[in-house]
Structures are given as C-alpha cells and as structure tokens.
A and B are shown apart, each in its own frame.
Chain A
Amino acid sequence: MTEPILKLEGLKKYFESTSGGIFNKKKGIVKAVDGIDLEIMPGETVGLVGESGCGKTTVGRTVLKLYEPTEGTITFNGQDITHLSAHEMKPLRAQMQMIFQDPYASLNPRHTVGTLIGATFEIQGITPEGGVKHEVERLMERVGLNPEHVNRYPHEFSGGQRQRIGVARAIALKPKLIVADEPVSALDVSIQAQVVNLLDDLQEEFNLSYLFVAHDLSVVQHISDRVVVMYLGKIMEDANKHDLFRAPRHPYTKALLSAVPVPDPKKSRTREKIILQGDLPSPMNPPAGCVFNTRCWKVQEQCRVEVPPLIQIGNGHRLACHFPEPA
C-alpha cells in the first residue's frame, strides 16, 4: 500500500473576528475549517467543493501552511509539517505548489515572464540542467506559451496565457502536490478547456497530486478522481467521483448536484431539481447538531441536537448524515 502524499488529521483553522476600529473588540470566532480528515494519494486528484464560505479555500491554504493551523496535523510525504517554521518549510515548498484563481493579481506586473518563472529556481538555490534561461523557455513551451515571449510583461498576455504562466511557475520545481484554487473560474469557456487539458496532461507526465478547489462541479467532475463536499467547515461526503455523482448519499450533495445546470435543454426540462431554501448560515454561529440542518429537507429532531460523525460506508466512501439517501 502506498503512503498518501498528504494526510490531514482533525485539521482546524479558526479566525478571530474583530470589530475593527480603535477598540478592536473581539466579535467571535469564525470556524472556517472545523475538523477535517483527508488523504491524497500520489497521482490522485481530489476535488474540494462547496458553496462560498464553506472553508474550501482555507483548507487549501492551510495545507501549504500559508495559514497556521489552529489544531490537528498535516503530514506531507510522511513528514509532520504542522509546526514547521517558515524557514523549515522552504525546502519543502519545492514539492508543494499553488495555482491561484486570479491570473491578474497573482503575477507581479513589474517582472517579465522569464523573471517570474525563473524566480522559483533562484529562491530554492537550484540551477536546473542547461541553466535557468533554457529551463524557463522549456517550461514556457511545455505549457503552450511561445518561448520567444520570455521578456514580455504579464499585461501583454491574455487571461488564459497568464494562467499558463502560473502553471509553468507551479511545475517548475517538479512538485509532488499542487493546490489549485479555482484555477479556471476566471477564464472564458473556450479558454477553460485549454487549461483543464493542460493540467490533465501535466498530471500524467509528472505523476502530480492535485487538491483542486473549485465551486464549478462540472469542472471538478471532469478533472477529479475523488470529490470531497464541504459545508460550513466540515466534510459532508467524500467518495470517488463515480459514486458521488451517480449516487450521492448526503442530502446536501444531492441538492448541490441537482442545482448544477446541464447544457442539455431536453434533460433540464425533465430533470428533478432540489431547490435549497435560504443561504449558508454564518460560520461564526453555526447551527447546533448537523450544520446542514437549517436547509435540509429531510431534517429530523435528531439532526438538530446530534452532530453526525463522518463514517466509512465502504469503498472509501465517507458520509456524515443521520438519514442518508438510499444507495
């Protein structure tokens, strides 16, 4: 049995919310991530989905230690990295990289593409075979950019091309894990497919693991091996994509999937939709019992008092619900 590349145990990340102003009074604690257990195997793509505010982005950032975890452990490639300092993390950063959502905000406008991609080598003190310049050009070519544009600045590129620069930078050091936070949601439909295909190809080439954070279930379904559904900082369901998309067991997963519009008019006329009422409750004051109970259409008294544990129901399928849908 191979070891997981990433293992999260009881991961929590709380943020203190303050009122701002001169007194800066404490208003409460936002439980953005509230006890997550998750494993990612080498070469596996795990999709992390949920509505805005469910904590999916916070998970991605805490995994890379961009946020200090409040509780729990993060094990990367067999090593406990939970309490490593920024300095101790540095050599590990070569193996874990991130692709950001906004290709406009994530590239320094004052640097050329060559500098932006080359910086990864400089920071890690690595000289790639054939020199930095040669390697940068090779990477540009690999992600579908013209290597002649190495001296251009980010503003000279379109959104899709900028995202390719972000991808080139992430794969430069041949990492084992890439956290991709909404990597295609800022792109136009016809460009999205180009970047999704690129991510697919790179995974095969480098045996990469992806933690793919996104709200677009169609894209997640396409790219993932396994999909984890989050709601208010907790995992509701986790299964391989076939099980999850064919027979979702958690009412929330079912509602979420039924809400995704299908580009097929005949199907969407006949498809049964579950329309959830209301919005996500505030993560500062989550409901007692099951966090989903305020919007669930199957809610019973038990759900309002007792938190359903996340349990294995076979075939690697995990579920946190007192009254799951039939298989």
Chain B
Amino acid sequence: MSQPFLEVKNLTVSFPTEDGLVRASNDISFTVARGETLAVVGESGSGKSVTSLAVMGLHDRRSAQISGQAILHLENGPIDTISAPVDVVRKLRGKSMAMIFQDPMSALHPYYTIGDQISEAWRLYNDGDKKAGIKRATEMLDLVGIPGAAKRVLEYPHQFSGGMRQRVMIAMALVNNPSLLIADEPTTALDVTVQSQILELLKNMQKEFNMAVILITHDLGVVAEVADRVSVMYAGKIVEQAGIDDIYYQPDHPYTIGLLNSIPRVDQLEGRRLIAIPGQPPSLISLPAGCSFRSRCSFASQVPNNLCASAVPDLDEKIGGHFSRCHLTEEQLKKARVSTGAQL
C-alpha cells in the first residue's frame, strides 16, 4: 500500500448550541492515498460533510470545537490542517486540496463570468494576468468536456445547464492540479444520464491528475461504481470501513447490512419486500449510552449482558483492512445475516 496523502486521526468536531453540545463528527480516523477513492457514506446528519469541511479548514474556528489531526503529506513535509495557522491552511485550499459541492448553482457566483471564477484560484498561485487566466480557464473547460470552451468561458453561470455547471465546478477545483479532491454529493442534484457523465469525468480526472479523492454520498449505487474503499458513518462515528467488495459482499455492521437491504435495485426485478431499518437516527445532542445504532438494530438482543446499551463498541479490525464498530462476534453475525432473510 502506498503512502497515504491524507491522514485523518481522531478528528472530532462539535458545535456548542443552546440545547447542548452537538458532536457532529466523533473520533474519525481514515487515510486516502493518491489515485485512490474513498467513499464516505451515511444519512443526513451522520457527519460526513462536517468531517470533510474540517479537513479543508472551512469551519469557523470560533464556533466549532475541533480536535484531532488531518495531516496532508505534501512534498515539502506534512502539514496538519487542524492545528496549522489559518493563513497556512488558506494557501493549501484550491492548490493542494480542493472541494466540489452538491449544488453547483449556489456554489457559483451569478455576477462573474465562468472564466473569471475558474481562473481566480489559478491567478492567486501563478502570477498570470487576466488574459493568461482566461486562457487557462479555457483549457480547463476543454478538459472537462464543455464544447465551445473559448466562447463559453465568457458566459455566466445561468447560461449553463445543471450538468454543465457541475463540470465548471470540477474545472474550478482542478485548476491548480490538487492532490486531494473532496466531492460532496457531486451528482445528487443531477439526472441519472448526466450523473453517469459526471462520474465518468471524475474518474478520468483522477487518473489524469493522480489525485486522492474523497467522495461523500448517500447513494450506494454511485459508491459501487467509483470507490476503492468505503467508510460508513452513523450518528457522527465511522461504524464500518473496508474495501469496496467487502462492504457489499461481506458487510460486518448491522447498519451497513440494513442499508444494503433497504434499497430497491434496478437489477432485481422479482418483487422482494424492502427490509426497512425501523425508527430514525438519534439526536446528536443526546446520544444514547452505548452503541448509537442500538435502538434500530435487529441484532442487539443477541449480544449478552445488554452490552450494546452500556458500552460503546470500538472500531475493531476484523479481517485485514476491514473495520467494524459492533459487539457481535463474526459467528453471531453470520447467523444474524441469514436470519434477516437478506440476500447477502
């Protein structure tokens, strides 16, 4: 395994509110290497976006309490984006690490041309004039597959369709050839036909620039298509982390099993009833003692001594590279998987 480019260690982000401390992401650790795609999967409120914003240094340090490390292994030595001074992190953003957001319309400025917006970050780090910037922006538009780049570079965001805007966002993120790209739900707002265009583009760009990619999504279909490894998050914690095939064919955490059973699949025509996960995620202000998933878990009763209610399970390595945060033993789990009537 190659040296990781990003190493996140025990990252915890909490926000003090009037009702109490919201622990949005809790003791998160993972790594991503160049050329590798890590998918972070979870429902709304599971902490996937909060974690990535912390890596990018985009939380307001006055309102968010952040601990832990997010180390970028740059050519001239490692930098921890959590503890480094704000202006150091600012100089990494848009250069060594970049981010793509879900809604390309609200992420683009309506008053500036596409060319100005794409070249802004490039001109910041390369002393080119405006003309050189537009030339660079045109190259980038060409690269992300926008026809007639030379003309379109002078147009405004409203003149682009949703898919084209997302291509512009990608061009903007990649303009300085970053080593780490975080894509936060990059295709959620798009139609499936456009989604597959954008996923294809992201894959090609990753090869071209040899980037480490973190893909944040709730869509397990998208994950299956692009990820090398997967982190599943629930209520602010990583509950399972493994290689792509292990997650889909040997899931170890009841939440992952539940997710896979609850999604309808276009490749399965015979009407199997969806096995829904009962209940809903807990509030992050008053997390239950023990395992956060316990109240929705159909296997919790099989763990002796009511352990799930009293002790938070550790994220243990079960088999090489496969981590799961669950008290069930492998034996119990095998039985449990069968008892749900799951297809796994």
Chain A residues in the interface with B (C-beta under 8 A): 51-52, 158, 160-161, 188-194, 196-197, 200, 215, 217-219, 221-223, 241-242, 245-246, 255-268, 273, 275-277, 279-280
Query: Which residues of B161-194 are within 8 A (CB) of A?
Result: 161-164, 191-194
State whether B248 touches A190 (Cβ < 8 A): no
Some 10 contacts from A to B, beta carbons below 8 A apart, are: A161-B280, A188-B43, A197-B273, A218-B266, A256-B192, A262-B266, A263-B223, A264-B248, A267-B267, A277-B197
A260 and B163 contact, CB distance less than 8 A: no
B215-237 vs A, CB cutoff 8 Å, 1 = contact: the mask equals: 00011111111000000000000
* Shortest CB distance A159–B (Å): 8
| CB-defined contacts of B225 to chain A, threshold 8 Å | 261-262, 265, 268
Q: Which residues of B contact A (CB under 8 A)?
A: 43-44, 161-164, 191-197, 199-200, 218-225, 244-245, 248, 258-260, 262-267, 269, 271, 273-278, 280
CB distance from A194 to the nearest CB of B (A): 4
> Known: A266-B245, A279-B164, A279-B194. Is A200-B273 also a contact (CB below 8 A)?
yes
**B191 A189 Cβ-Cβ under 8 A:** no
B276 interface neighbour in A193, A223, A256, A267, Cβ under 8 Å? A193
| A189 x B266 contact (CB < 8 A) | no
Q: Which residue of chain A has the shortest Cβ distance to B200 in the bound complex?
A: A275
Q: Which residues of B contact A51 (CB under 8 A)?
A: 191-194
CB pair B192–A190 under 8 Å, yes or no, is: no
Contact B244 A265 (CB under 8 A): yes
Q: Which residue from chain B places its CB closest to the CB of A184 in the assembled complex?
A: B264
- Kindly provide the distance from the CB of A44 to the nearest chain B CB, expressed in whole angstroms: 14
Pick the residue among B219, B265, B276 that contacts A197 (CB under 8 A): B276
Known: A192-B262, A196-B274, A279-B161. A261 touches B221 (CB 8 A): yes
Instruction: Give Cα A51–Cα B192 distance, bound, in whole angstroms.
Output: 8
- The SS class assigned to the B binding surface is helix
Q: Is the CB of B260 within 8 A of A222?
A: no
The answer to whether B280 touches A263 (Cβ under 8 A) is: no
Alpha-carbon distance A273/B269, docked complex (angstroms): 19
Residues of B within 8 A of A242 (CB): 269
With A189-B220, A256-B192 as known contacts, state yes or no: A263 contacts B44, CB within 8 Å: no
Residue in contact with A263 in the complex, picked from B193, B221, B275, CB distance below 8 Å: B221
Is A190's CB under 8 angstroms from B245's CB? no
Taking a contact as CB atoms under 8 Å apart, the answer to whether B193 and A222 are in contact is no
A65 to B265, CA, bound (A): 33
User: Contact: A262 with B200, CB < 8 Å?
Assistant: no
Closest to A242 in B: B269
Complex Cα distance, B265 from A142, in Å, reads 27
B96 CB to nearest A CB, Å: 30
Q: In the complex where A188-B43, A276-B193 touch, is A263 in contact with B263 (Cβ < 8 A)?
A: yes
Report the Cα distance A277→B267, complex, angstroms.
24
User: In whole angstroms, how far apart are the Cα atoms of A267 and B266 in the complex?
Assistant: 12
Are A222 and B271 in contact, with the CB atoms below 8 A? Answer: yes
Most A CB contacts (10 A, CB to CB) among B199, B267, B280 go to B267
B221 touches A218 (CB 8 A): yes
Closest-CB distance, B46 to chain A (whole angstroms)? 9
Which residue in B43, B164, B193 is a CB contact (below 8 Å) of A190? B43
